[in-house]
Chain A
């Protein structure tokens, strides 16, 4: 590997070219759970511009608010890896607690709130000091993590207990737990903080919860002619910032549901790839990217026309997806 310096330099210059693209080109980061890698997709070229090796079983992925760091839950390494987005090199591995699966970040860039699937805890991690600030016991198999836009309430879903846990984001005390349908996976707040959306994979439904009263306002069910209820497994959710549209990934139904976020009516189903898991919108909300775990690709949806415009092959078992903020 004597030539690695040259290759490294070439790779780096290629990357400079990518970051020098006109405004509007975002980087979409996809974790490939079985190939232990991250695919980087350019949102204008709609191709994979780089693939980097990461720790074993990468699942959750997010980009710091300043766009400089990429955070990855390397579940089998029991750590969160921090990657410099300009070089795509590993900077450090943070002490995340056991088996980190999904996480969310404070809008200030610190701390990180991590769900630890194996030990029924939420870990609050100071990313600068690499220090665990708090460990919050929650239900069995915690998964989805969301922080309210005002930063006051942390929500975690526990798959086996089928609950959405509301946690005070300052004292880290449990405020309340809301029973939802079986196997809740993802929790997302609307931009104004007035709604919390929780998907239940086995229950086949999405619960819309009022975060003030902790009451379920609406349960959204999905019916697709020709498919059994078992085949419809909601996981990933993304909401547009105008509060009008929600996208819900339906797992083995191979579709993304387009939901009117005001009336909660399902408007459309878009056939994407096989076993669609997670979703990411570009910051301009023009494109939606879906990870398709069985077909090993990412589908690209044009948000304005609600059409699937491309399938981009990535690594084995793509799971998490996040867009750069700029």
Chain B
């Protein structure tokens, strides 16, 4: 009966976590409802001049500085127009080429940031799997001890219950944070798209 109770508690716990883990995917390391996709390709967001023929963006200090600024999540989307206009006004004769470099640089920076985030999501998912295993083991252990009616060390049982309670709480909190974590790659894609759109308007 006790085992059943702990099983029910565990099932409830998983149930509570279910919204965040909804839409199981083929990839056990990918907990998000949104599909895991590769790098943002330039072609997906850009229909301007060829990036390679614009030359290396990191050799153009001005373009590189703006690229990093635009790519940074600290820069508000609303600030972008002003920043790009300012650069375009002082970019000189090869304005289009230099703006193309700005986009190439911003895309590179965003893609490496996005790779980092995605790696983080995978670590996060694995951590949750491990924690789920631990909770399951803890719940089993408690019910075993309760069933064996070995009350020689009630404090040990209390400790185990408390540990289980904490782990459950951490698990729940992390599950709730998951939707935010999963949104991050999408927000970065949106940023890349906005930068591309704003730059193309000025070519």
A-B contact pairs, 12 of them (CB 8 A): A224-B43, A227-B43, A228-B41, A231-B41, A231-B44, A254-B45, A254-B193, A271-B45, A271-B47, A274-B193, A294-B186, A294-B190
Q: Is B126 an interface residue (CB 8 A)?
A: no
5 residue pairs, one from A and one from B, having the closest CB atoms: A226-B43, A271-B47, A227-B43, A274-B193, A254-B44
Q: Is B145 an interface residue (CB 8 A)?
A: no
CB within 8 Å of A: which B164-203 residues? 186, 189-190, 193-194, 197, 200
Chain B interface residue bracket vs A: 10 to 19
Q: In whole angstroms, how far apart are the Cα atoms of A253 and B37 in the complex?
A: 13
Please pick, from B38, B43, B47, B189, the residue contacting A274 in the complex, using a CB distance under 8 A.
Answer: B189
Q: In whole angstroms, how far apart are the Cα atoms of A225 and B46 in the complex?
A: 11
Q: In whole angstroms, how far apart are the Cα atoms of A274 and B44 in the complex?
A: 9
A-B contact count (CB 8 A): 38
Chain A residue numbers with a CB within 8 Å of B80 are none
Q: Is A60 an interface residue (CB 8 A)?
A: no
0 or 1 for each of A301-326: is its CB under 8 Å from B? (1 = yes): 00000000001000000000000000
How far apart are A223's CB and chain B's nearest CB, in angstroms? 11
| Minimal Cβ-Cβ distance residue in A for B197 | A311
Q: Is B42 an interface residue (CB 8 A)?
A: yes
Q: In whole angstroms, how far apart are the Cα atoms of A237 and B66 in the complex?
A: 39
Q: Is A252 an interface residue (CB 8 A)?
A: yes
| Minimal Cβ-Cβ distance residue in B for A252 | B44
Interface residues, chain B, CB within 8 Å of chain A? Answer: 37-38, 41-47, 186, 189-190, 193-194, 197, 200
Interface residues, chain A, CB within 8 Å of chain B? Answer: 224-228, 231, 252-255, 269, 271, 273-274, 294-295, 311
Chain A residue numbers with a CB within 8 Å of B37 are 252
Chain B contact surface mostly: helix
User: With A269-B47, A271-B47 in contact, do A295 and B41 touch (Cβ < 8 Å)?
Assistant: no
Q: In whole angstroms, how far apart are the Cα atoms of A232 and B189 in the complex?
A: 16
Chain A residue numbers with a CB within 8 Å of B38 are 228
Chain A residue numbers with a CB within 8 Å of B42 are 226
Chain B residue numbers with a CB within 8 Å of A273 are 193
| Minimal Cβ-Cβ distance residue in A for B190 | A295
How far apart are A24's CB and chain B's nearest CB, in angstroms? 27
Q: In whole angstroms, how far apart are the Cα atoms of A271 and B198 in the complex?
A: 13
Taking a contact as CB atoms under 8 Å apart, the answer to whether A227 and B41 are in contact is yes
| Minimal Cβ-Cβ distance residue in A for B192 | A274
Q: In whole angstroms, how far apart are the Cα atoms of A294 and B37 in the complex?
A: 14
Q: In whole angstroms, how far apart are the Cα atoms of A318 and B37 in the complex?
A: 21
Q: In whole angstroms, how far apart are the Cα atoms of A269 and B38 in the complex?
A: 22
Chain B residue numbers with a CB within 8 Å of A294 are 186, 189-190, 193
Apart from A226-B42, A254-B193, A271-B47: 4 A-B pairs, beta carbons within 8 A: A227-B44, A254-B44, A273-B193, A274-B45
Q: In whole angstroms, how far apart are the Cα atoms of A226 and B38 in the complex?
A: 13
Chain A residue numbers with a CB within 8 Å of B43 are 224-227
